[in-house]
Amino acid sequence: MKKIIFNILFLFTVLYLSAQDGHQLWLRDKQAVPVTVICSESSPTLSIARQELKEGWQGKPKTSITLIIKKDKALKDDGFRLGKNSIQANTDIGILYGVYEMLRRQQTSEPINNEVFNPSYERRILDHWDNLDGTVERGYAGNSIFWREDDPFTVTDHDKTLWQQYARANASIGINGSVLNNVNASPLILNADYLARAKAIANVLRPYGVRVYLSVNFASPSTLGNLKTADPLDPSVIAWWKNKVKEIYSIIPDFGGFLVKASSEGQPGPQNYGRTHADGANMLADALKPYGGIVMWRAFVYTANDNDRAKQAYSEFMPLDGKFRDNVIIQVKNGPVDFQPREPFSPLFGAMKKTSVMPEFQVTQEYLGHSVYVVFLSTMWEECLKSDTYQQGAGSTVARCTDGSIYPQKYTAIAGVSNVGLDTNWCGNQFAQANWYAFGRLAWNNTLQSQQIADEWIKLTFYKDPSQKLSEANYAADWNKNFLAPVKQMMLESREAAVNFMMPLGLHHIMSANGHYGPGPWWHPKGVRADWTPPYYHQASTYGIGFDRTKKGSDAVSQYHEPLASQFDNLKTCPEKYLLWFHHLPWDYKMKEGNTLWDALCRHYEKGVNQVREFQKIWDKAGPYVDSTRFMEVQGKLREQCMNAILWKDACQLYFQQFSKRPIPYDLERPINNLDDIMANEFKHKND
């Protein structure tokens, strides 16, 4: 009987280990080596640190690791010193971060030396656009892990387990904050029942160092508190917010603060009452300040009548520089429009010298294929962070202008719009997990290179899969050559491939309106404001294509510091990747390589398609190195991505050809779709 039970348990274990569904992310179970952990302190966080070491140790057997909490001026609160047999930090959460770093280095074969690790940003936050009914705006991995429509206030054991797994994943990459609800916030988030659920979430996240934040609706005093106004200078409104903040901190003592989308896209804000963004933000900041809370005030604003939407945030916020409280941080998207496949960095970075500014990246792929496309976003974020603003001379990168290196900021922060949902693999696509991982790693160290991040993620996620049948002797060399190297190259090229087949040479915002997924450069129905339509951005005509943001056009170039303003304004020096972002050019404009602009566009579209086809080949060869579940899932995603890339190519070439009046270069693949058919069938993904 015992033998039968043993065999059943053995079979179950083999099946469980072989069936990799992606739920464990980059934290897969391992066969641990015995280790002794010595620590004279105790806390829930330190208990987790001990457990992680004992369950994940891959070093020498029977090693002793000492965890030391001791004040060190070289360490920030979350920082740690990593030695071969010790981890030292000022706080228990610093110890936990050190444990994850040590375990990661063991698994990726990186050296462990006596080295100090400090985070680039104090607050490293995931923004969840989760609605209280459980849906997720721009989420492509199922419903919310925090909220649900049915029985919304009951907290189950399953909820707690899921939140614990989520918190662990965040802590393992240094993320220490979560905004639990959509920036298009319902006032109901501040009522007692929802605050009680937020408390339950905070209790689970707290031992992992993840504090909670809430998005708030600026009109809450009138819609929830029954006041006659939400004017930020009205004494009754000020008192209402102070009382509400006091209530929140009595429930969640380590509450992080508010995220606010105001006077934007129909959301109420201080401008409804003739007040400024500073008036609104400062009122909330004053209420939060006694408790150490912050206000993250989004700069995503634009008006329907502005001659260039890309200029609006700068135009509204620059006159307010220096007028915000020191616990207000202006949250700025990486580019001046809206998370497009490629944008130049927002000119607000570095320009606001007296106000704290934080980058906002989008981890969920709203404009980059949702959960279908393989697009490694680290290269996009690295491009932004390393962009030189020249605001304080050469070397004034976006990273250094926001992490406190150049401007003194009481608080530093960075945010990523989350791609997490209830799907088994959390993100809807195995490779979308890499973007969650990459955001955390860059938030901790904004100088990391995407190549290193991709290398880490692949090794942690796929190395030594139990389903692989390769011999141990040849395993590492074979895996490195035939899996790691080609898959890493695929990831590093994937964002550029998407830019090529969707919006090359600086084109932007030409997707269909339905879901922001497929092509729609023609979309311009009556009654819709112009800056929500693609023709507003591509400006295609028989003369040419592109948005003129030069000094002779909208003059958006003047929002950049020299030498960038002149560089972007001058056709001879403007980088070709931003060419049509800043210039409206004739179809026969000569590119640097000698092709006309029309020919170059066509070749970019085809190159993007061919890149995705190559990704398919790379992944098909990966079969022996990946379990069948994840292999087939990614294979199916790439197949769909390839079909979509062809549709993007055909749609854009055929649509713009109506204006260019030029043939598609004869050495390129012919379109296989008809433009009328594409336009008649609003192209979208089934998950929209």
Which pLDDT band, with edges at 50, 70 and 90, does 514 fall under?
Answer: confident
DSSP H or E run through 585: strand 585-586
Q: Annotated catalytic residue: which of 130, 231, 343, 366?
A: 366
Which pLDDT band, with edges at 50, 70 and 90, does 469 fall under?
Answer: low
Instruction: For residue range 265-311, list pLDDT tens digits in order.
Output: 999 999 999 999 999 999 999 999 999 999 999 999 988 767 899 99
Amino acid at 383: E
Q: At CA 149, angle to CA 144 and CA 151, rounded to 5?
A: 115
How many CB atoms within 10 Å of residue 155?
Answer: 16
Q: What three-state secondary structure class fits 81? A: strand
Q: Which two tokens stand for residue 127?
A: 């923004």
Nearest C-alpha neighbor of 101 from the set 448, 464, 384? 448
Amino acid at 147: W
Q: Which two tokens stand for residue 199?
A: 């408390």
Cβ atoms of 131 and 137 within 8 Å: the answer is yes
Cβ atoms of 356 and 297 within 8 Å: the answer is no
Give the pLDDT score at 307. Answer: 87
Entry pTM: 0.95
Mean pLDDT of 76-86: 96
Kindly report the length of the chain.
688
Cis, bond preceding 563 (omega within 30 deg of 0): yes
CATH second-level architecture of 504-547+584-680? Alpha-Beta Complex (3.90)
**Bridge-based pairing state of the strands 328-333 and 356-362:** parallel
DSSP H or E run through 86: strand 86-89
Give the pLDDT score at 471. Answer: 63
**pLDDT exceeds 80 at position 22:** yes
Mean pLDDT of 462-491: 83
The DSSP secondary-structure symbol of 153 reads T
Instruction: For residue range 399-427, list pLDDT tens digits in order.
Output: 999 999 999 999 999 999 999 999 999 99
Residue 339 CB contacts under 8 Å (≥ 6 apart), including other chains: 333, 362, 366, 367, 417
Cβ atoms of 382 and 397 within 8 Å: the answer is no
Which pLDDT band, with edges at 50, 70 and 90, does 465 fall under?
Answer: low
**pLDDT exceeds 50 at position 14:** no
Give the pLDDT score at 5. Answer: 41
Is 265 part of the annotated catalytic residue set? Answer: yes
Range in 29-33, 152-156, 580-584 with the lowest mean pLDDT: 29-33
The CA-atom distances, in angstroms, between 323 and each of 188, 311, 326, 329, 353 are: 30, 20, 9, 12, 11
CATH number of 123-462: 3.20.20.80
Nearest C-alpha neighbor of 99 from the set 64, 27, 49, 31? 49
Q: What three-state secondary structure class fits 66? A: strand
Is 41 part of the annotated catalytic residue set? Answer: no
d(Cα 480, Cα 495) in Å, to the nearest integer?
Answer: 23
**pLDDT exceeds 60 at position 3:** no
388 φ, ψ to 5°? -90, 120
Percent of the chain at pLDDT exceeding 90:
91
Amino acid at 354: K
CA-CA-CA-CA torsion sign (535, 539, 545, 546): negative
Q: How far is CA 64 from the centre of its chain?
A: 38
Give the pLDDT score at 637. Answer: 98
Cβ atoms of 141 and 423 within 8 Å: the answer is yes
Residues pairing with 393 in the sheet: 391
Which pLDDT band, with edges at 50, 70 and 90, does 1 fall under?
Answer: very low
Please, how many CA atoms are within 13 Å of residue 355, restricted to the half-sphere of its CB?
28
Mean pLDDT of 513-520: 90
Is 338 part of the annotated catalytic residue set? Answer: yes
Range in 375-389, 460-474, 597-611 with the lowest mean pLDDT: 460-474
Q: Supply the mean pLDDT for the chain.
A: 94
Q: At CA 531, angle to CA 525 and CA 537, rounded to 5?
A: 95
d(Cα 660, Cα 540) in Å, to the nearest integer?
Answer: 9
Domain ranges of the chain: 25-106, 123-462, 504-547+584-680
Nearest C-alpha neighbor of 396 from the set 438, 442, 347? 347
Mean pLDDT of 38-45: 97
Give the pLDDT score at 130. Answer: 98
Which pLDDT band, with edges at 50, 70 and 90, does 681 fall under?
Answer: confident
Nearest C-alpha neighbor of 45 from the set 104, 81, 82, 89? 89
Q: What three-state secondary structure class fits 91? A: coil
E strand map for 145-234: 177-179, 211-216
DSSP state letters, 358-391: EEEEE-S-TTTTTTTS---THHHHHHHHT-B--B
Instruction: For residue range 56-74, list pLDDT tens digits in order.
Output: 999 999 899 999 999 999 9
Instruction: For residue range 326-367, list pLDDT tens digits in order.
Output: 999 999 999 999 999 999 999 999 999 999 999 999 999 999
Instruction: For residue range 222-241, list pLDDT tens digits in order.
Output: 999 999 999 999 999 999 99
Q: Annotated catalytic residue: which of 338, 555, 640, 682?
A: 338
Q: Annotated catalytic residue: which of 115, 149, 265, 588?
A: 265
Which pLDDT band, with edges at 50, 70 and 90, does 623 fall under?
Answer: very high
337 φ, ψ to 5°? -110, -80
**pLDDT exceeds 70 at position 468:** no
Percent of the chain at pLDDT exceeding 70:
94
d(Cα 16, Cα 28) in Å, to the nearest integer?
Answer: 12
d(Cα 281, Cα 587) in Å, to the nearest integer?
Answer: 46
Nearest C-alpha neighbor of 404 from the set 178, 211, 118, 73? 118
In the chain, what is the straight-line distance between the N-terminal and C-terminal CA atoms, in Å?
A: 52
How many CB atoms within 10 Å of residue 114?
Answer: 10
Give the pLDDT score at 183. Answer: 98
**pLDDT exceeds 70 at position 393:** yes
Give the pLDDT score at 314. Answer: 97
Give the pLDDT score at 458. Answer: 98
**Bridge-based pairing state of the strands 413-417 and 585-586:** unpaired
**pLDDT exceeds 70 at position 4:** no
CATH second-level architecture of 25-106? 2-Layer Sandwich (3.30)
Give the pLDDT score at 685. Answer: 52
Residue 6 CB contacts under 8 Å (≥ 6 apart), including other chains: none
**pLDDT exceeds 80 at position 13:** no
Mean pLDDT of 513-530: 91
Which pLDDT band, with edges at 50, 70 and 90, does 544 fall under?
Answer: very high
Instruction: For residue range 117-170, list pLDDT tens digits in order.
Output: 999 999 999 999 999 999 999 999 999 999 999 999 999 999 999 999 999 999
SS3 of 102-151: HHHHHHHCCCCCCEEECCCCCEEEEECCECCCCCECCCCCCCCCCCCCCC
Report the chain's C-alpha Rg in angstroms: 26
